[in-house]
């Protein structure tokens, strides 16, 4: 199936889907950016929205941050167009998904990175789906190798990129390894909170050579954040810098989308480019 997609924007433009406020100006999940909750929340309502198998498949399909039309989501969920539209209406009403009209089409995307983080966290306690085919096995391996975590790279590729940025002193603050016994608030498949990474002046120069303007990072989100990668149990780069750097790699053609949701592939040009620009060499 082929269809148009809209990539999540890493710019600072206002009024994008997900940049919304709840009733009476209260910040929604997409705006909290991982801050501690200061009020009671309706967990049951959110859980009920995710609990339906078809809606769960739709949410997982949107977890890479792209905007997709209802027809594509219906195909991924294995339901008819009318059923998909009903599910999407509930997800929009529940503020897990936003919708944007473009011409005669309507495109849907997750309301923000916190929704993706919640799905990743649920995956830690959910029973694994039985792998009954070679196709499913290949997809699982591909997700471990390289995927997106909302709008930034994760998996082996994301962790290797983070490690390289630390080794080249683009970032400073830690070695990027998650140590469960030493962790206070950090846990797999979630934004990290124990470590404070900083972008160095030397790092700004190196990233500028790659075409990343660190003075133009989105102002409404932290510039440098990290997630504890659920498959590698190490840190991968998130935040505004993670989003802009990932978008740049797509623009250069160094990474491309795979056939399955969230899966990305490092291209031959990308392997050469990352080695030349950052010294990143991935083992087979």
Question: In this predicted model, which residue has the larger pLDDT, 38 or 256?
Answer: 256
Neighbours of 13 (CB within 10 A): 10
For tokens 């470590």, the residue is 195
Tell me the per-residue pLDDT of 53-64, one tens digit each, with 9 for 90 and over. Answer: 999 999 988 988
Stretch 147-153: mean pLDDT? 92
Q: Show me where the domains of the chain are located.
A: 23-125, 135-278
Please give the Cα distance from 274 to 281 (Å, whole number): 7
pLDDT at 4: 43
Q: How confident is the model at residue 39 (pLDDT cuts 50, 70, 90)?
A: confident
Please give the Cα distance from 278 to 169 (Å, whole number): 11
Strands (E), 150-210: 152-154, 171-172, 190-191, 198-199
Q: Is the pLDDT of residue 252 over 60?
A: yes
Please give the Cα distance from 127 to 96 (Å, whole number): 23
Q: Note whether 12 and 106 are within 8 A (CB).
A: no
Whether the predicted model's global pTM rises above the 0.85 cut: no
142 φ/ψ angles, rounded to the nearest 5 degrees: -65, -40
pLDDT at 2: 38
Q: How confident is the model at residue 236 (pLDDT cuts 50, 70, 90)?
A: very high
Strands (E), the chain: 68-69, 97-102, 105-110, 147-149, 152-154, 171-172, 190-191, 198-199, 225-228, 235-238, 255-257, 264-266
Tokens in use for 12? 């600072």
In angstroms, the Cα distances linking 202 to 158, 214, 239, 258, 281 are 21, 12, 19, 33, 21
For tokens 């990539």, the residue is 7
Q: Is the pLDDT of residue 212 over 70?
A: yes
Q: Is the pLDDT of residue 33 over 50?
A: no
* Class of CATH domain 23-125: mainly alpha
Nearest to 276 by CA among 168, 186, 198: 168
Stretch 43-61: mean pLDDT? 92
Stretch 118-123: mean pLDDT? 83
Exposure pattern of 34-60 as b/e (b: 16+ CB <10 Å)? beeeeeeeeeeebeebbeeebbbbbbb
- Mapped onto helix, strand or coil, the DSSP state of residue 231 is coil
Rank 55-59, 71-75, 157-161 by mean pLDDT and report only the highest.
157-161
Question: In this predicted model, which residue has the larger pLDDT, 95 or 187?
Answer: 95
Q: How far is CA 146 from the centre of its chain?
A: 12
Q: Is the pLDDT of residue 136 over 80?
A: no
Beta-carbon contacts of residue 31 (< 8 Å; ≥ 6 apart): 19, 20, 21, 112
Q: Is the pLDDT of residue 271 over 50?
A: yes
Q: Note whether 173 and 197 are within 8 A (CB).
A: yes
């Amino acid at each position: 199936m082929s269809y148009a997609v809209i990539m999540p924007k890493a710019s600072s433009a206002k009024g994008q889907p997900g940049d919304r406020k709840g009733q009476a100006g209260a910040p929604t999940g997409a705006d909290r950016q991982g801050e501690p909750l200061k009020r009671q929340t309706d967990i049951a309502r959110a859980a009920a929205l995710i609990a339906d198998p078809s809606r769960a498949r739709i949410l997982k399909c949107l977890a890479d941050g792209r905007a997709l039309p209802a027809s594509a989501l219906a195909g991924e969920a294995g339901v008819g167009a009318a059923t998909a539209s009903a599910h999407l209406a509930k997800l929009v009403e529940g503020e897990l998904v936003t919708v944007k009209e473009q011409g005669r089409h309507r495109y849907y995307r997750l309301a923000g990175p916190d929704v993706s983080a919640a799905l990743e966290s649920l995956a830690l306690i959910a029973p694994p789906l039985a792998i009954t085919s070679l196709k499913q096995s290949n997809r699982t391996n591909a997700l471990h190798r390289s995927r997106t975590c909302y709008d930034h790279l994760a998996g082996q590729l994301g962790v290797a990129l983070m490690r390289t940025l630390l080794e080249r002193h683009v970032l400073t603050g830690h070695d990027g390894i998650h140590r469960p016994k030493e962790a206070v608030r950090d846990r797999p498949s979630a934004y990290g909170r124990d470590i404070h990474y900083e972008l160095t002046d030397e790092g700004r120069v190196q990233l500028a050579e790659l075409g990343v303007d660190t003075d133009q990072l989105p102002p409404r989100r932290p510039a440098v954040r990290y997630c504890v990668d659920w498959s590698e149990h190490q840190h991968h780069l998130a935040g505004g810098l993670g989003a802009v750097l990932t978008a740049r790699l797509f623009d250069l053609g160094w990474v491309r989308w795979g056939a399955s949701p969230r899966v990305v592939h490092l291209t031959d040009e990308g392997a050469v480019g990352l080695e030349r620009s950052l010294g990143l060499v991935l083992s087979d």
